[in-house]
Amino acid sequence: MACRISVISRHISSPPLEHLDDLGVRVAPEVRSALSSGVGVVALESTIVSHGMPYPQNFHTAQEVESIVRANGAVPATIAILDGVPCIGLSLAELERLAKLGTMVSKTARRDIPYVIARRGNGATTVSATMFFASKAGIKVFVTGGIGGVHRQGESKLGKTPVAVVCAGVKSILDIPRTLEYLETQGVTVVSYSTDEFPAFFTPNSGCKAPCRADSVEECADIIEANTKLGLGSGILIGVPIPAEHAAAAKNVESAIQSALHEAESRGIAGNSVTPFLLKRVNELTGGDSLAANIQLVKNNALVGAKIATALTTRLSRFTKSS
């Protein structure tokens, strides 16, 4: 039976931003102002910009995602490392630079952060690295496309980073049941948004029942707040199914995935090169349907994530005024 959670709102304070200045992390003025004044902030990864699709489509999509966040009451904070400086929030020029550089930018997971900084390089942050910097800044909501599976890094960081990740579920190119089991062992709260079934990235259905269900952004905000108040120290995964009208045909996607997996194995593609190869190959095999679905699901996640961030800060503001 899906669990439901409701808690009384309590004030959750963000850490002072001076510690980030001391660490050499640059916080964009808009993001700094939002964090200081209690406006909702949504963290966004940058790997999807540099490695997710070609220029200029990646730049236009990134702009649209940031616009959706703003239109729903929150401030976007795209996270990346530029010339060795971790940046929480990018200017339009910086976003376009990242998009133009594309795959020349290092795909940067949490483990790679020291190396990229030491070499004064450019790094596009993955789920794990984005979560790390978001947590450091006190950003509690992070929007992405989908997380990796049991052989990736993103899901393991959910067990020790108190950030809510809003995504379209586990990428359907991976082992979803095993990933959900692994998340359970890591103490990660897994929630499906307005559905009992955990979504599978390109499609709304995975065949896996979600441990918990939330039917509104307010319920999601309650869960995030309860997690923070109790100091569990773990993250929350909120799976938002791609809207049905934008979902690629599940059968065609699954067929393309199996073909791409066999091709990757035969070519000896391994490590963090697997997912980019599979996504690219699946897009080719589906005639562009999977990329179109990817763009739509990220936009939908941004809309839901922004509303969750706004709901969280709204209730905290009300509590502060009444206390």
If asked whether residues 131 and 185 sit together in one domain, one would say no
Instruction: Give me the pLDDT at residue 129, please.
Output: 95
User: Residues 274-285: pLDDT tens digits?
Assistant: 878 888 898 899
Predicted pLDDT at 149: 56
Looking at 122, 139, 156, which one is the last position of a domain? 139
Contact assessment for residue 78 and residue 62, using Cβ atoms and an 8 Å cutoff: yes
**Tell me: the pLDDT tens digits for 177-205?**
888 988 999 899 999 999 999 998 888 88
Q: Is residue 149 part of a domain?
A: yes
Q: How far apart, in whole angstroms, are the C-alpha atoms of residue 49 and residue 124?
A: 8
What CATH number is associated with residue 95? Answer: 3.40.1790.10
**117 and 253 co-located in one domain:** no
Which residues are known catalytic residues? 45, 171
Beta strand pairing call for 212-214 and 41-44: unpaired
Q: Once rounded to an integer, what is the mean pLDDT over residues 232-255?
A: 86
Domain that holds residue 46: 15-139
Q: Are residues 165 and 293 in the same domain?
A: yes
Closest CA to 270 of 171, 175, 185, 152: 152
Question: Token match 């997690």: residue?
Answer: 227
264 vs 237: CA distance, rounded Å: 28
Same-domain check for residues 168 and 83:
no
Query: Which of the four pLDDT bands, split at 50, 70 and 90, describes residue 152?
Result: very low
Q: Is the residue at 1 inside a domain? A: no
Given 120, 139, 158, the domain boundary residue is: 139
pLDDT tens sequence across 47-88: 999 998 889 999 999 999 999 999 999 999 999 999 999 999
Same domain, 120 and 160: no
Domain boundary among 123, 139, 155: 139
- Tell me the C-alpha distance between 319 and 230, whole Å: 17
Instruction: State yes or no: pLDDT of 14 exceeds 70.
Output: no
The reply to whether 84 and 162 lie within a common domain is no
pLDDT, average across residues 7-26: 69
Q: Is residue 247 scored above 90 in pLDDT? A: no
Count the neighbouring beta carbons within 10 Å of the beta carbon of residue 233.
12
Q: Does residue 73 lie in a domain region?
A: yes
Confidence at 292, pLDDT banded by 50, 70, 90: confident
Answer for the pair 158, 183: CB distance below 8 angstroms, yes or no.
yes
Residue 45, pLDDT above cutoff 50: yes
Share of the chain above pLDDT 70, in %: 88
Same domain, 132 and 25: yes
Distance of alpha carbon 280 from alpha carbon 57, whole angstroms? 14
Domain count, the chain: 2
Q: Which of 169, 149, 163, 94 is nearest to 124 (CA)?
A: 94
Q: Mean of the per-residue pLDDT values for the chain?
A: 88
